[in-house]
Amino acid sequence: IPPEQSLETAKAIKEKYSYVCPDVAKEFAKYDQDPSKWMKKYESINYISKQPFSVDVGYERFLGPEIFFHPEFCNPDFITPISEVVDTVIQHCPIDTRRGLYKNIVLSGGSTMFKDFGRKIQRDVKKVVDARLRMSEELSQGRIKPKPIDVQVITHHMQRYAVWFGGSMLASTPEFYQVCHTKADYDEHGPSICRHNPVFGTMS
């Protein structure tokens, strides 16, 4: 891979061949049993030399997206999967809003576009939620029967560019220019200005 095209090549492989698998061990076995069926070859041209080059893509197809669910694969210092992060965030919200939040987990960003990404998050969050409900029932010795919590992960047509779209909508409002920091402000005050949130009037 030409060094100057490494990032572009990785991005193209990620978007073209990667997907989320339900079980990593079974996926390894599937590839080992029939490599020719699952291995892919990415081909491109060196922009400078005009020579073709190719990259064999194997386990990386499912191991790349798997770092969201098993971050320790990439760095042992990080062990919290995205499903637990989502659950923790919702648990820190007011108790009367939590059921609604579990039912409206909205995906946003290019890395949520992996095939079956939303399905796996929904499955994993549901496991965490159900385990908590079972524990509550056991601690009450069966006296309390918690009402099941519906977990829904929502995909949508603006998913890839939702963050940009939201920022664009905010920037198009008249109030935006009353709360944003200008480049001149940044040049005058430096990075410290970014620690102040003009919308809420607090330090972030």
**What CATH number corresponds to the domain at position 138?**
3.30.420.40
Q: How far apart are CA 128 and CA 69, in angstroms?
A: 13
In terms of domains, do 99 and 53 share one?
Answer: no
Q: Does the pLDDT value for residue 195 go beyond 80? A: no
In terms of domains, do 97 and 159 share one?
Answer: yes
Q: What are the DSSP calls for 4-66, one per residue?
A: GGHHHHHHHHHHHH-B--S-HHHHHHHHHH-HHHH-EEEEEE-TTT--EEEEEESTHHHHHHH
Q: What's the pLDDT at 204?
A: 47
Query: Per the domain annotation, does 188 fall within a domain?
Result: yes
In terms of domains, do 89 and 155 share one?
Answer: yes
Residue after which a domain boundary falls, among 43, 66, 89: 66
Q: What's the pLDDT at 18?
A: 95
Burial label for 114, CB within 10 Å (0-12, 13-18, 19+), is: buried
Q: What is the pLDDT of residues 126-149, one digit of tens each?
A: 999 999 999 999 988 878 888 999
Query: Per the domain annotation, does 73 fall within a domain?
Result: no
In terms of domains, do 138 and 193 share one?
Answer: no
- Band (pLDDT 50/70/90 cuts) for residue 41 is very high
In terms of domains, do 163 and 92 share one?
Answer: yes
In terms of domains, do 186 and 160 share one?
Answer: no
When divided into structural domains, the chain yields a total of 3
Encode 133-143: b = buried (16+ Cβ within 10 Å), e = exposed.
Answer: eeeeeeeeeee
Q: Which amino acid is at 73?
A: F
Where do we find the tokens 């919290």? 80
Residue after which a domain boundary falls, among 37, 66, 95: 66
Q: What is the pLDDT of residues 80-97, one digit of tens each?
A: 999 999 999 999 999 999
Q: How far apart are CA 95 and CA 106, in angstroms?
A: 19
- Which distant-in-sequence residues (6+ apart) come within 8 Å of 30 by Cβ? 38
Alpha-carbon distances, residue 106 vs 24, 50, 123 (angstroms): 25, 43, 14
The whole-chain average pLDDT of the chain stands at 90
In terms of domains, do 157 and 89 share one?
Answer: yes
Token output for 12: 């193209």
In terms of domains, do 21 and 47 share one?
Answer: yes
Query: Per the domain annotation, does 71 fall within a domain?
Result: no
Q: How far apart are CA 109 and CA 120, in angstroms?
A: 16
Residue after which a domain boundary falls, among 17, 40, 66: 66
Where do we find the tokens 């669910």? 69
In terms of domains, do 178 and 157 share one?
Answer: no
Question: What is the span of the domain harbouring residue 135?
Answer: 81-172
Where do we find the tokens 């499955």? 123
Q: What's the pLDDT at 203?
A: 46
In terms of domains, do 59 and 105 share one?
Answer: no
In terms of domains, do 58 and 119 share one?
Answer: no
- Band (pLDDT 50/70/90 cuts) for residue 193 is confident
In terms of domains, do 184 and 156 share one?
Answer: no
